[in-house]
């Protein structure tokens, strides 16, 4: 039986593919049209700012040597992706939102993995701020992971989604 014969895997793979395409497309657009560290004000609280993050979320481990940081991040991504697929296979077919959330998280993880393999760091460009408060820059992959995690959490409180 084909892996994609399973409707859960097929749905999650579709969501992951859409997230991956949007993530890589937006990152390519930013790299083609902006200079590194260039910032474009979009609204009073949102800038497009082309940055590269060698670290993990919130720039954790950014100062660790690349010889340690990159293999560690790649290993973590592969292990987490395998765990997501395993969880997905055990998820009841009728738990649509759980399947979609897992697909979004997987697509986001793969989007950042592509950057790490290609550049050794992740391209970020969404920069939110309010007054003197600034949120670390992020990208479509990071957004998909975050939204997927919130949906997964909310879905866990429901008997069926």
Q: DSSP labels for the chain?
A: --GGGSHHHHHHHHHHHHHHHHHHHHHHHHHHHS-TT-EEE-SSSEEEEEEEE-SSGGGTTTTS-HHHHHHHHHHHHHHHHHHHHHHHHHS-TT-HHHHHHHHHHHHHHHHHHHHHHHHSSEEEEEEEEETTEEPPPB-HHHHHHHHHHHHHHHHHTSS--
Query: Hey, how many other C-beta atoms are within 10 angstroms of the C-beta on 53?
Result: 21
Instruction: Kindly name the residue from 23, 47, 63, 142 that is annotated as catalytic.
Output: 142
Instruction: Kindly name the residue from 6, 23, 63, 124 that is annotated as catalytic.
Output: 124
Active site residue 124: yes
Q: Catalytic site residues? A: 124, 142
């Amino acid at each position: 039986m084909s892996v994609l014969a399973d409707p859960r895997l097929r749905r999650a793979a579709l969501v992951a593919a859409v997230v991956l395409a949007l993530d890589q497309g937006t990152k390519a657009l930013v790299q083609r049209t902006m200079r590194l560290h260039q910032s474009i004000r979009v609204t009073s609280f949102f800038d497009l700012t082309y940055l590269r993050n060698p670290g993990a979320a919130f720039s954790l481990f950014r100062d660790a040597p690349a010889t340690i940081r990159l293999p560690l991040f790649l290993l973590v991504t592969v292990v987490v992706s395998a765990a997501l697929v395993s969880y997905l296979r055990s998820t009841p077919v009728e738990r649509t939102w759980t399947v979609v959330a897992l697909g979004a998280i997987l697509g986001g993880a793969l989007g950042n993995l592509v950057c790490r393999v290609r550049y050794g760091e992740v391209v970020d460009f969404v920069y939110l701020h309010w007054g003197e408060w600034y949120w670390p820059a992020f990208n479509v992959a990071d957004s998909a992971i975050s939204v997927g995690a919130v949906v997964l959490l909310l879905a866990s409180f429901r008997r069926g989604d």
